[in-house]
Amino acid sequence: MSPAHQNDPICAQITPVGYAAVTVIRISGKAAIDIVARHFKPAHKLTKSPSHRLIHGVFLSQTGQPVDDVLLSVFRSPHSYTGEDSVEISCHGNPNLANRILQNLLQHCRLANPGEFTLRAYLNGKLDLSQAEAVNDLIHAQASKAESAALMQLHGILSHHLQGILERISEARLRCELAIDFADQDLPQIDLVDLKTRLLGLIQDTCDLAARGEQGKHIREGVKICLAGAPNAGKSSLFNAFLQHNRAIVTPHPGTTRDYLEESISLAGFPIVIYDTAGLRSSTDEIESAGIAKSYSLMQSSDLIILLLDATGNMDSMQAGIPSDLLPKTITAYSKADLLAPSYVRIEHAIYCSATLPDGLEQLSAAILQHLMLSEDILSQPLITNTRHLAALEKCNKALQQALYALDTEAGFEFIAFELISASHALEEILGVITPDDLLESIFSNFCIGK
């Protein structure tokens, strides 16, 4: 957004479109309160109102005709979401009424771009960039853990942690710059052991944060799990059991599933995208062969493969069906455990599951969370969940490693300071201290209008 348009008054509906009990329209920017006052009775109550007050009245058309009874929420700069004067207009949830109110407001302001309210909050210092991104993450979160992670980021837990790392990098850099500036004076030498200890601590902390970031990405983006196995191994039944309704067709005839099915679920609060795929076998049927080829493609792109073996049949028949390079991300589970006789001797430490027993998915669910290292305490500390953030953090860590190498090889304090500046810049990209305009456009274009 160009500086010339940053203060333009903007408006948009901030609740979903459609019939509802209430619809809310927000207007923000220079003269926002005065613009609403032109269409509000009693206007003087609005113009004289302090911030954070509710005012009931009537919204009027350009010609002074009543449009609807409304409740105004008044927010004066800088104590608003955007940091500007803002008014939120709550009207009856009739789309026609909302449109008429918007049409009247748009005589004096323009429609907000996607994410522009949050962009203004960032530009006005109400949020840093990572917090602004968390707003959109919270809106689109698919499970409770994703919601909690986004809320933590919105509350600034990650920002505060990164600020602490930035301060430590600056302290180390300051020592190097002092050594450079006063090299020709008779002053005590910089403590190289202390500097190395500082660098090692920074490297360890950024490594730990990056390691948690892989799990964080799973929380934000969801874990892709592919159900694989021979025809009639119980994949579709298990798929339905995870969804808790009959989404896939289940028959006793092998090869019922020809194409894959995809659904999103929540597993212990973690977002999961689960795929039911065509059974793996040699086939001369053109359609079935295409489905099997797609199954292998989904296995390649998934985060985890669950190889189902029929516990009542030949349990070793499908081990060769998984390419060797995919075995590290494969869990083998024995299906149809409910059909096993009480005298059946189960394989020690093997995973058995059932689509019909009340606790039939417990062992498999626990194995999934353990394999992906998704634990309850993952949200007890700062967490990276964003690919952009993770890339910047890795750039920071690389620069810190280079600074340590420069120290160990006695390359000079100039080289150490240079790498520490690069490390700081990488973290500042996450917080939005250094932000190219095209990056802002990319981030906020993914927001909905009204946020």
- Whether the pLDDT of residue 288 is over 50: the answer is yes
CA atoms of 244 and 194, how far apart (whole Å): 58
Spatial distance between the Cα atoms of 112 and 92, rounded to a whole number of angstroms: 21
User: What mean pLDDT comes out for the span 12-35?
Assistant: 95
Is-contact 425 432, C-beta < 8 A? no
Q: pLDDT category, 21, cuts 50, 70, 90?
A: very high
Reading phi first (left if > 0) and then psi (alpha if -120 to 50, else beta), residue 257 is in beta
Show the tokens assigned to 42.
Answer: 């009693």
Is a pLDDT exceeding 50 seen at residue 317?
no
Closest C-alpha to 204, from 401, 430, 429: 401
What is the structure's pLDDT at 298?
86
For residue 316, the model assigns a pLDDT of: 47
CA 237 to CA 235: how far, in whole Å? Answer: 5
Q: Specify whether the CB–CB gap between 80 and 86 falls below 8 A.
A: yes
Structural tokens at position 395: 């750039």
pLDDT over 50 at 128, yes or no: yes
| Sign of the CA dihedral with 184 first, then 187, 192, and 194 last | negative
Cis peptide before 254 (omega within 30 of 0): no
Token pair for residue 4? 């010339």
Distance CA 374, CA 102 (A): 45
The residue written with tokens 């407001």 in the block is 105
Pair 351, 367: CB distance under 8 Å: yes
Statement: residue 427 has pLDDT above 80: yes
320 alpha-carbon distance from chain centroid: 36
Of the pLDDT bands very low, low, confident and very high (cuts 50, 70, 90), residue 258 is low
295 confidence band (pLDDT: 50, 70, 90): confident
d(CA 406, CA 400): 10
Domain 3-127 sits in which CATH superfamily?
Probable tRNA modification gtpase trme; domain 1 (3.30.1360.120)
Residue 435: its pLDDT value, please?
72
Chain segment 378-397, per-residue pLDDT in tens: 888 899 999 999 999 999 99
- Please report which confidence band the pLDDT of residue 3 belongs to, taking 50, 70 and 90 as the band edges: very low
More confidently predicted of 68 and 247:
68
Domain spans of the chain? 3-127, 139-219+384-444, 221-378
| 8-state DSSP, 423 | H
The pair of three-digit structure tokens given for residue 422, joined into one six-digit string: 């690069």
- Compute the average pLDDT of residues 362-381: 87
Both tokens assigned to 362: 């417990």
Distance CA 216, CA 387 (A): 9
Report the pLDDT value the prediction gives residue 247, as an integer from 0 to 100. Answer: 66
Tell me what pLDDT residue 187 has: 55
For the 221-378 domain, the top CATH level (class) is: alpha beta
Is residue 172 predicted with pLDDT exceeding 90? yes
Query: pLDDT value at position 376?
Result: 75
Which has the higher per-residue pLDDT, 198 or 360?
198
Highest mean pLDDT among 68-72, 255-259, 282-286, 341-345: 68-72
- Degrees to nearest 5, angle at CA 449 with 448 and 451: 75
Q: How far apart are CA 265 and CA 219, in angstroms?
A: 12
Mean pLDDT of the residues in the chain: 88
Among the residue ranges 183-192, 321-330, 395-404, the one predicted with the least confidence is 183-192
Q: What mean pLDDT do residues 37-48 have?
A: 96
**Residue 56 burial (10 A CB sphere; 0-12, 13-18, 19+):** exposed
- pLDDT above 50 (res 429): yes
CATH match of 139-219+384-444 with 1.20.120.430: yes
pLDDT at 331 > cutoff 80: yes
pLDDT beyond 60 at 421 = yes
pLDDT at 148: 92
Q: Is 159 exposed, middle or buried (0-12, 13-18, 19+ CB in 10 A)?
A: buried
Query: Residue 355 has which token pair?
Result: 């689509």
- Counting beta carbons within 10 angstroms of the beta carbon of residue 309, is it exposed (0 to 12), middle (13 to 18) or buried (19 or more)? buried
Asked if residue 363 has pLDDT above 60, the reply is yes
Q: Is the pLDDT of residue 16 over 90?
A: yes
Check: CB of residue 213 under 8 Å from CB of residue 414.
Answer: no
